[in-house]
Structure 1
Amino acid sequence: MTESLAELLELSQAGLLAAFLVFLRVGAMMAVVPAFGEKSIPERVRLVLAIAFTAIVFPAVVPEVQHLTASPQSLARAVATEVISGLLLGLILRLFVMVLQIAGTMVAQSTSLSQIFGGGAVEAQPAIGHLFFVAGLALAVMLGLHVRIAEILILSYRYFPAGQFLPPQDVMMWGVDHISKAFALSFSLAAPFVIASLIYNVALGVINRAMPSLMVAFVGAPAITLGGLLLLFATTPILLEIWQAGFAQLLLNPFEAR
């Protein structure tokens, strides 16, 4: 009976170590992932979420991590690789939400509203950027973000094998591809406001040349602000729909790169 208990204890220790390795990847991802990894969420809540996702992911990836507990060397190596893999996955998803913040900043600067900050934001940002950001988080959660995160974590062991460092060249190409797509989408979302601002400034310059004595800045400032708010009211549903489609595509295959 003592021998049986010793074998059971060894098995339980190996299982706990394997679960700990999964927790490292899940916890690193949960630290930066959108919605669940926001700074406004208490750390205890994020810890509980990480444990819950670990309980979901662990049964599906036991064969991929169990062999890493055989020796201290492989276990130490896996600690580093799992944290790096989790951070990379979380940052890719976080980058796509930052698209809305970048677009909001461009919109605010184009419409002379960049000095108005969102009081509900943890980090100071224009109110338009905060509005886009909160709306994007709500849409992400409505897309079933928690289910997609669990799927991504399980599939990640196929693309990011446990205990193996990722080739730097592949990580660079993968990251640059997602960054370029994020900035391209940010400018696309802000394009209507940038074009309207360009037309406004050109017209203001023409009026100023025709009537030098007129203080066009005092006349035009309320116009660009009102026009920007009206354009924001008209285009926000369309812009968020475009972003939602892109984010849904990312969640379906976050490992894709050109």
Structure 2
Amino acid sequence: MRVDISLLPALAAAFILVFARIGAMVMLLPGFGESNIPVRTKLAIALALTLIVLPLHRSAYHVDMTSLTSLLVLMVHEIIIGIVLGATARVTLSALSVAGSLIAQQLGLGFVTTVDPTQGQQGALIGNFLTMLGLTLLFATDMHHLVIAALADSYKVFGPGEVLPSGDIAALATRAFAAAFKIGVQLSAPFIVFGLVFNVGLGLLARMMPQMQVYFVGVPLSILGGFLILAVVLTTMMGTFLDYFGEIMRQLTP
């Protein structure tokens, strides 16, 4: 019996190219690409997704095994696509950080910072709480399946070897950043209104009672009132964020 192994080099090259796209995306994905996740775990996730996606899109790769330059160009192409997909999901999650920073400023907690595990740097305490809650809800509601679906369908939008649509990528990035800031402000809107009304009231109180220590009275009341509002609107806030995240991911799925 004779076994034909002539297709193995092309298959291996296709595997590497698929892994380049998926690996670049996994390294930036919320939940999977955090700095506190072991690198081996990230590689295992990327390899598992590669084994799933490769049979579906193997025919899309036409690799010229006689030219190393074309193979390297294809790999750079795939890495850029993976970065675009992962960065879009990462920017989408940053809406919660924007909302948390605005809320903290309104409540007088802007100086209270802790290490944000999703970014590896200092962030507002409320922003870190909202980010961790958002990540938990994304996995609890299976929204991460939309990310995997967007990855599989990305071959319809960004075909291997095709010229990168730089205009579409720029438009996608612009929409993602604008939408993240917009949603962040919308999520924090009740606290912005509360902060405006509360500070105006404190200003009037200071004018009417100059001898009163407004700061020592206002800060505890501001924090207490802010946490009460947060407890009331938290469910609505996270529901709005999940709808927004799903809409952005569906835009990547033709």
TM-score where L is the length of structure 2: 0.92
Residue pair 1:143, 1:248 contacting (<8 A) in 2 also: no
CA–CA distance in 1 between the matches of 2:64 and 2:112?
Answer: 52
Q: 1:211 to 1:68 in 2, by over 3 A?
A: farther
The one of 53, 62, 70 aligned to 1:57: 53
Aligned equivalent of 2:14: 18
Q: 1:188 to 1:14 in 2, by over 3 A?
A: same
Runs of 4+ aligned residues of structure 1 deviating over 4 Å after TM superposition are none
Question: Matched residues, percent identical?
Answer: 31
Aligned equivalent of 1:142: 140
Structure (1/2) with the larger helix percentage: 1
Kindly indicate whether residue 94 of structure 2 is the aligned counterpart of residue 98 of structure 1. Answer: yes
Superposed CA deviations along residues 30-77 of structure 1, whole A, max 9, x for unmatched, are 000111111111111001000011011111111112445563332121
Q: Which structure 2 residues correspond to residues 40-189 of structure 1 after superposition, within 5 A?
A: 40-67=36-63, 69=65, 71-118=67-114, 121=117, 122-189=120-187
CA–CA distance in 1 between the matches of 2:155 and 2:66?
Answer: 19
Deviation, 1:218, is 1.3
Residue pair 2:107, 2:223 contacting (<8 A) in 1 also: yes
Residue pair 1:25, 1:83 contacting (<8 A) in 2 also: yes
Gaps of 5+ in 2: none
Deviation, 1:118, is 3.6
Gaps of 5+ in 1: none
Counterpart residue identity of residue 211, structure 1? M
TM-score where L is the length of structure 1: 0.91
CA–CA distance in 2 between the matches of 1:220 and 1:238?
Answer: 27
Aligned-CA RMSD value: 1.8
Residue pair 2:23, 2:43 contacting (<8 A) in 1 also: yes
Superposed CA deviations along residues 189-220 of structure 1, whole A, max 9, x for unmatched, are 01111110011111111111222222211111
CA–CA distance in 2 between the matches of 1:218 and 1:11?
Answer: 75
Q: SS in structure 2 opposite 1:228?
A: helix
Counterpart residue identity of residue 41, structure 1? I
Deviates more, 1:185-194 or 1:121-130: 121-130
Residue pair 2:116, 2:123 contacting (<8 A) in 1 also: no
How many residue pairs get aligned? The number is 252
Residue pair 1:18, 1:68 contacting (<8 A) in 2 also: no
Kindly indicate whether residue 239 of structure 2 is the aligned counterpart of residue 253 of structure 1. Answer: no
Counterpart residue identity of residue 169, structure 1? G
Q: 1:197 to 1:72 in 2, by over 3 A?
A: same
